Amino acid sequence: MADTFLARGHVLPLDRPYIMGILNVTPDSFSDGDRYFDPSAALARAKEMEAQGADILDVGGQSTRPGYTAIPQEEEWERLEAVLPAVLREVRVPVSVDTFYPWVAQKALELGAHIINDVSGFPNEMMEAVAGSGCGCIVMCPTGGVPDIFAHVKGFFEERLAAAQRYHIQKERLCFDPGVGFGKTLEENLALIARVDKTRLPGIAYLMAASRKRVTGAPCGDPPFEERLPATLAAHTAALLGGADLLRVHDVAASRQAAQMAAALKKHIL
């Protein structure tokens, strides 16, 4: 039986790649800020991404672009609460909520969210908040700038796995994200994309999230965010061939097709 990622009633066997569509209900996200801040626009976008083949939708109420200023948890929840009920009602795929506030995570889970995606590293306070919910937990390494980025990220994952076990969160509920674009140098980001095998822990889902980020622009002459799809597809294909299971993307249809091709090719790589 294949390894699986469990997300509150949803079982995702890790025998194919999964596409996580990004839905930012923010006025200031780095790539698509203000496009889906209106709840009706957000719902339409959620349904569009599902129709394009998204396996998961990741809803965020706070920008975490470089240099961002955090908004209070109450304001973040106000944005999410305006969108989440309709999205959860109208789509069939698992819905993830991107937050680093335990209180917001609990409120989202009360509404029926399936996954919590925490870019701050899923500290113990967050684990305690979600432990009994059965939700999937996306755990991102938010730091870098170290002598050995592979050892640093893998060590972080191992420590968070041990913490999850203390909170009785089984490994099937975990998904690790190396945190490309968060606290890391360009070379560290490139290395993490190219060598997923260096940081992936056996039997635990692995997410790569390089979509439109600076790492996809720097090697290509820094094109505008909206022109970074080819570089994103190249980065994510490399990650899939290296062992990633999930891709967090802005461009669902193109990413799904590229992922399907990568999966077909991977069967022929010894």
Quote the pLDDT of residue 28.
53
In angstroms, rounded to a whole number, what is the distance separating the alpha carbons of residues 32 and 110?
Answer: 28
Within its chain, how far is the Cα of 124 from the centroid?
19
Quote the pLDDT of residue 245.
98
Q: What is the pTM of this model?
A: 0.94
In angstroms, rounded to a whole number, what is the distance separating the alpha carbons of residues 42 and 139?
Answer: 25
pLDDT per position in the chain (270 positions), as tens? Answer: 579 999 999 999 999 999 999 999 887 544 444 565 688 888 999 999 999 999 999 999 987 766 667 899 999 999 999 999 999 999 999 999 999 999 999 999 999 999 999 999 999 999 999 999 999 999 999 999 999 999 999 999 999 999 999 999 999 999 999 999 999 999 999 999 999 999 999 999 999 999 999 999 999 999 999 999 999 999 999 999 999 999 999 999 999 999 999 999 999 986
CA dihedral of 219, 224, 226, 227, whole degrees rounded to 10: -50
State the maximum Cα–Cα separation within the chain, in Å, rounded to a whole number. 50
Residue among 191, 207, 203 at smallest CA distance from 240? 207
Write out the catalytic residue numbers: 213, 248
- Whether residue 264 contacts residue 224, with contact meaning beta carbons closer than 8 Å, is answered with no
Task: Say which CATH superfamily domain 4-266 falls into.
Answer: Dihydropteroate synthase-like (3.20.20.20)
- Whether residue 100 contacts residue 120, with contact meaning beta carbons closer than 8 Å, is answered with yes
Helix ranges (H only) for the chain are 39-52, 73-81, 84-90, 102-111, 124-130, 149-166, 186-194, 214-217, 229-242, 252-266
Residue holding tokens 């095998």?
Answer: 197
Burial class of 66 by CB neighbour count within 10 A (0 to 12, 13 to 18, 19+): exposed
3-state secondary structure of 270: coil
Buried b (16+ CB within 10 A) or exposed e, 8-22: bebebebeebbbbbb
Residue holding tokens 């993490």?
Answer: 192
Quote the pLDDT of residue 171.
97
In degrees and rounded to multiples of 5, residue 159 shows phi and psi of -65, -40
In angstroms, rounded to a whole number, what is the distance separating the alpha carbons of residues 148 and 84?
Answer: 40
